[in-house]
Copies of this chain bind each other. A is one copy, B any other.
Amino acid sequence: MDWKPERNSHLTLQEQIVNWMRSRIERGDWTVGTKIPPQRKLASQLKVNRSTVQQAIEELKADGLLESKVGSGVYVANHSWNALLNKSQPNWKQHIESSIHKPNIHTIQLINEYEQYDDVIRLGTGELSPELLPTKELKQSLQSISLDAKVIGYSSPLGNERLRKILCEYLQKRGIYTFPENILIVSGALQALQLIALGLLEEGSIVFHEDPSYLTSVHPFQSAGMQMISVQRNQHLQETLQSLKKKRQSIFYCIPSLHNPTGINFSVEEKKQLYEVCNALQIPIVEDDVYHELLFDSPTPPIKSFDSSGQVLYIGSVSKTLSPGLRIGWVVGPTQVIQRLADIKMQTDYGSSSFSQEIVAHWLSTELYENHVSWLRHQLKERVAFVEKILEEEFKDIASWNKSAGGFYIWLRFHQPIVNKAFFLKLLNEKVLINPGYIYAANDLHHIRLSYAYASFDELAKGLEILRKISKVSMNRGIEGSE
């Protein structure tokens, strides 16, 4: 939205806005059913008073081009458009509503939207703060990467071969011995899940996962028609899985290191137990290990390191350590699985950015990456100390939490179930963005995933102050309500 009304036009601001909106509708940019941006947002983007926007919208409503839906917003009107403009257009709204892929849940859509605004304090973001990204070093490294014509062409189905060889060496350090042919380069861990959903499971397959889980907040499996079932890892796990699985195909998705959102780490014994239970039932394990490098203490070996059955698909990424903008991750698995996923990736996007792959190869093959990650852990430790001090001083009466063992998150539990969507919106209204627990476990109204990785120290302090204030109000309301 680059357009703004002119101050010295012979038309009033309102007239200009009416004409502009009308033209967006007439040109087919705003088709029937399009929700137009909120008045406040429009006013700020067009640099006019909110009342001017409001009057313009009223005028278009009177013309029948726009219509209000109570509690939802202003939309391009359905009934009158064809008549007014005398043309037909596809029923996009119906196309969207009847199509296959699930939309993001509304809270996540709002998070995605508001993360773009600079004046919002992001207390939930699963992303490194700009000051934690090695911007200068990345820029320098662009001059060191080899960039021959082969690199900038389409890559082979499995991805850049040099990068896969380097990854073999890199993964050996954590006890995973593999070959380049057993690695597929993907555009981040989420794409790996998407490929697994489409390439290894039939409709109605069961995806077992922990509760809560990052997996609940994304839809690669649900949109492909899989059933999501959360299970507890306890001594009855094998019976539970067996009874739920019946004769269906299934996989077990887990994040054994620095679990997202809880931050929990499996012990070696827990990893072995899960491996053996799933092995006995022939259930493949998807081990999401994107936070591996960010454990403050030495990590224990991944489940994949004791896999001798080709049972574990192991996912890694540089998004949490080096730069999410590179969009580079990897999957390690048996040859035939990797070939299958590569075949679908070729049909999906013909491979990941060769430039990004070359940058990652350069970082992993020099000491750049390890030096950076070691510095990064140190920075995250300082951040977590800062946040835990505030929590200790200000939140003990209303919430509890475990000391962070690494990564980005504290799984903050409020004593009362106050974290509902109204709570999320109340904070958003104060320009504080949180990741509420209910996006990771539908019925969870106790938790938020507090991230100390993104916001600046000042923002963290200010954001936590607002969080505390709103929480207190919500708790008091809760108590009043229950009286």
Q: What residues of chain A have their CB less than 8 Å away from a CB belonging to chain B?
A: 1-3, 24, 26-31, 33-35, 87-96, 98-104, 109, 112-113, 115-116, 127-128, 130-131, 133, 135, 138-139, 142-143, 145, 147-157, 165, 168, 177-182, 187-188, 190-191, 194, 197-203, 218-220, 223-225, 249, 279-280, 282-284, 307-311, 319, 323-327, 334-337, 340, 343-344, 346-356, 359
Q: Which of B31, B149, B200 contacts A95 (CB 8 A)?
A: B200
The answer on a CB contact under 8 Å between B350 and A353 is: no
Q: Which of B284, B307, B354 contacts A325 (CB 8 A)?
A: B354
A221 → chain B, closest Cβ, in Å?
11
A53 → chain B, closest Cβ, in Å?
16
A75 → chain B, closest Cβ, in Å?
10
The answer on a CB contact under 8 Å between A347 and B249 is: no
- Collect the chain B residues with CB atoms within 8 Å of residue A28's CB: 307-311, 334
Can you pick out 26 interface pairs between chain A and chain B where the beta carbons lie within 8 Å of each other? A30-B334, A30-B335, A31-B335, A31-B336, A34-B334, A35-B336, A90-B284, A90-B309, A90-B310, A92-B200, A92-B336, A93-B336, A96-B199, A96-B340, A99-B201, A103-B344, A109-B343, A115-B156, A130-B150, A133-B153, A152-B323, A152-B326, A191-B349, A326-B353, A349-B349, A353-B353
- Collect the chain B residues with CB atoms within 8 Å of residue A34's CB: 334-336
Bound Cα distance from A177 to B27, whole angstroms: 9
The answer on a CB contact under 8 Å between B96 and A334 is: no
A334 → chain B, closest Cβ, in Å?
4
A41 → chain B, closest Cβ, in Å?
12
The answer on a CB contact under 8 Å between A355 and B336 is: no
* Top 7 A-B residue pairs of the complex, sorted by shortest distance between their CB atoms: A325-B354, A28-B310, A130-B149, A353-B353, A89-B309, A101-B198, A152-B325
Q: Which of B27, B99, B282, B347 contacts A88 (CB 8 A)?
A: B282
A293 → chain B, closest Cβ, in Å?
18
Contacts known (A282-B88, A310-B31, A353-B325); A101 close to B347, Cβ less than 8 A: yes
Mostly helix, strand, loop or mixed at chain A's interface? loop
The answer on a CB contact under 8 Å between A198 and B179 is: no
The answer on a CB contact under 8 Å between B2 and A180 is: yes
Q: Which of B92, B280, B347 contacts A334 (CB 8 A)?
A: B92
The answer on a CB contact under 8 Å between B326 and A100 is: no
Bound Cα distance from A127 to B100, whole angstroms: 32
Minimum CB distance partner of A249 in chain B? B95
A124 → chain B, closest Cβ, in Å?
14
Minimum CB distance partner of A322 in chain B? B152
Bound Cα distance from A262 to B279, whole angstroms: 51
Contacts known (A1-B179, A190-B350, A308-B28); A139 close to B150, Cβ less than 8 A: no
A113 → chain B, closest Cβ, in Å?
8
The answer on a CB contact under 8 Å between A88 and B323 is: no
- Collect the chain B residues with CB atoms within 8 Å of residue A142's CB: 142-143, 145, 147
Bound Cα distance from A35 to B324, whole angstroms: 35
The answer on a CB contact under 8 Å between B96 and A202 is: no
The answer on a CB contact under 8 Å between B153 and A130 is: yes
The answer on a CB contact under 8 Å between A138 and B152 is: yes
- Collect the chain B residues with CB atoms within 8 Å of residue A94's CB: 249
